[in-house]
Structure 1
Amino acid sequence: MGMHSFVKNIPRKLNNIYRTYSSQFVPKHQIVSDNDIKLLRNFIDNSQKILVLTGAGISTESGIPDYRSAEVGLYEKRNYKPIEHMQFCSSFKVRQRYWARNYIGWFNFSQCQPNATHFAIKNLEVNNKKVSTVVTQNVDNLHKKAGSKNVIELHGTAYRVICLSCKATYDRHYIQEKLKETNPNFEEITDMVRPDGDVEISVERLAEFTPPTCDVCKGILKPDIVFFGDNVPRSRVELVKKQLTDSDSLLILGSSVTVFSGYRIVLQALEEKKNIAIVNIGPTRADEHVSLKISARCGEILPLIC
């Protein structure tokens, strides 16, 4: 079904099929307007090769909170600060705390499933041939679960673990089994899921936990994620730059582009005079630079178009 098969005045009740999501982490928002739908549809129709940049805001409907959304983001609710790269590398206690909490949070985090936004992006890429590349700031693997093909995980993935010494890599599910073996009596129950899989655990319990080490060299294991204070690998930055140059439009979904690794994509798009559109609940760092900004829930507007 082509893009122009969109049915005008679609009954709002049909959109209820897209409302099976965890509203706990979705910030307050207005119902999308018919004019917003028209504007975004025109943006997509008039684009030939779209680079899509996604942030934590598209995964809130899968039950994963973001960091900065008003009232529901982790910074807002719990004054939560993600772990920093140098802390992880230099402190055994920090690694112990991280891995214990990640171990407990992994089941819920890894069970999260793609939502309507992820599937709409996949349809725009695979079925409609509009999206050439998906660049995501998320580490939750949901784009790949949804079936997107050309995905660049800007900040890495929680599903892969790397040794900081010998660079051996491991599947995160394998590490989970190792952690079960070395920590057979470590059990906690949590309903919390964070963007990086982290959760809260008591200090007393943390001291009992044995973090994983590399099978090859016994070195420090770290999720293949760009922690705060670390840099996105240069090769990945260059790949994103090339993919954006080869595209004619940039569509930003669910990201405030506050972090520079995302904002510099906007700066490049502006320099290369790309068409830019943003769909995000709340303000973004790039609002004043773009001609089309829609304040809406991505999972509501995207399925109405694709």
Structure 2
Amino acid sequence: MAHPAETLRELMAGRRTVALTGAGISTDSGIPDYRGPDSPPRNPMTYQQFIGDPGFRRHYWARNHLGWRHMDAAVPNAGHRALAALERAGRVAAVITQNVDMLHTKAGSRNVIDLHGTYAQVRCLACSHRLSRYALAERLERRNPGFAEKAGAASAVEIAPDADAVVARTATFRVVDCERCGGMLKPDIVYFGETVPRERVCSAFDAVDTAELLLVLGSSLTVMSGLRFVRRAAKAGTPIAIVNRGPTRGDDLATLRIDAGCSEILIQLLP
């Protein structure tokens, strides 16, 4: 029986391949996933909680003030680097990622669609002004001197896939608003319950529609934002390969299903 990676290599041969990645591809970089076999139960912040409850919002920004530093310091793993190398070799045409960690871009992938945005940008919900997470960090630090040190170094706290950190005491944290209009600031990422910007969805659909193979990497496809691309590819008759630890909602549509880590499979696709 052929090794799974060899079977995948044969399936990719001569086909325009588009990758769809989830949190599972970044676990080897120290960023946990939401639904992997070894992941603890998580209840991520929803859009409704963020905009509707000042307490939730304060709690989120306090945790994010630590968590984003950990994500910013994360480096691409062997899987990210292999995927970028496959793109340079002309074997992968595009990467659609559900992750906000920017690790594909850091690894050198050029045609990346950040479906849910990235941790590195912040947006005002009133005037749409954008600023870098670095700039916001400086403002939050001035309003909350010593908070990060008191709560614990970023490397010592539990981090979630959306750049959040598990911090219990946040009642004294002070949130800042938009300097231009005083509006509410929000990380420029798509929360649960929020709609993915139409232009990103269209770009992702275009990539899927031109694919001759859809390669799913490290996603359980639990939420529709990722599953819809698999269903679209299946409807068009495009072969689908899934590499993930544990079952996914797209398994019944897959041409090839590999239960394994992304890095261990991707590095075997290289020359």
Tell me the equivalent position of 1:42: 10
Tell me the equivalent position of 1:122: 84
Tell me the equivalent position of 1:192: 158
Matched to 1:199, the amino acid is A
Would you say how many aligned residue pairs link Structure 1 and Structure 2?
A: 265
Shift of 1:46: 3.3
Tell me the equivalent position of 2:267: 303
What whole-Å deviation, never above 9, does each CA across 1:51-96 have from its counterpart, x for those lacking one? 10000000000001101112x2132xxxx20001011011111110
Q: Secondary structure at the match of 1:299?
A: helix
Shift of 1:34: 5.3
Query: Equivalents in 1 of 2:264, 2:107: separation in Å?
Result: 17
Q: Which runs of 5+ in 1 are unaligned?
A: 1-32
Alignment of 1:170-189 (within 5 A): 170-186=131-147, 187-189=150-152
Structure 1 residue aligned with 2:34, among 41, 62, 67?
A: 67
Q: Which runs of 5+ in 2 are unaligned?
A: none
Tell me the equivalent position of 2:98: 137
Tell me the equivalent position of 2:182: 218
Cα RMSD after superposing both structures: 1.3
Tell me the equivalent position of 2:75: 113
What whole-Å deviation, never above 9, does each CA across 1:79-136 have from its counterpart, x for those lacking one? x20001011011111110000000022222211110011011101112x112111000
What whole-Å deviation, never above 9, does each CA across 1:259-295 have from its counterpart, x for those lacking one? 1010000111011111211111111111111120011
Q: Secondary structure at the match of 2:20?
A: strand
Query: Equivalents in 2 of 1:110, 1:198: separation in Å?
Result: 12
- Residues 212 and 34 of structure 1: is their aligned pair in 2 closer, same or farther, counting only changes over 3 Å? farther
Q: Secondary structure at the match of 2:188?
A: strand
Give the TM-score, by structure 2 length: 0.94
What whole-Å deviation, never above 9, does each CA across 1:178-213 have from its counterpart, x for those lacking one? 1111111313113312101111222xx311111121
- Residues 112 and 34 of structure 1: is their aligned pair in 2 closer, same or farther, counting only changes over 3 Å? farther
Query: Equivalents in 2 of 1:50, 1:210: separation in Å?
Result: 46
Tell me the equivalent position of 1:18: none
Alignment of 1:74-85 (within 5 A): 74-75=40-41, 80-85=42-47
Query: Equivalents in 2 of 1:238, 1:132: separation in Å?
Result: 16
Q: Secondary structure at the match of 2:3?
A: helix
Query: Equivalents in 2 of 1:178, 1:200: separation in Å?
Result: 21
Contact 2:68/2:119 (8 A) holds in 1 = no
Contact 1:65/1:194 (8 A) holds in 2 = yes
Structure 1 residue aligned with 2:126, among 165, 169, 177?
A: 165
Tell me the equivalent position of 2:25: 58
Query: Equivalents in 2 of 1:213, 1:231: separation in Å?
Result: 23
Matched to 2:19, the amino acid is V
Matched to 1:59, the amino acid is S
Q: Secondary structure at the match of 1:74?
A: coil
Query: Equivalents in 2 of 1:124, 1:185: separation in Å?
Result: 44
Identical residues among aligned pairs (%) = 44
Shift of 1:138: 0.4
Matched to 2:120, the amino acid is Y
Query: Equivalents in 2 of 1:120, 1:199: separation in Å?
Result: 28
Structure 1 residue aligned with 2:112, among 151, 164, 168?
A: 151
Shift of 1:173: 1.3
Contact 2:244/2:259 (8 A) holds in 1 = yes
Query: Equivalents in 1 of 2:161, 2:2: separation in Å?
Result: 32
Q: Secondary structure at the match of 1:122?
A: helix
Q: Indicate yes or no: 2:243 matched with 1:279.
A: yes
Contact 1:108/1:191 (8 A) holds in 2 = no
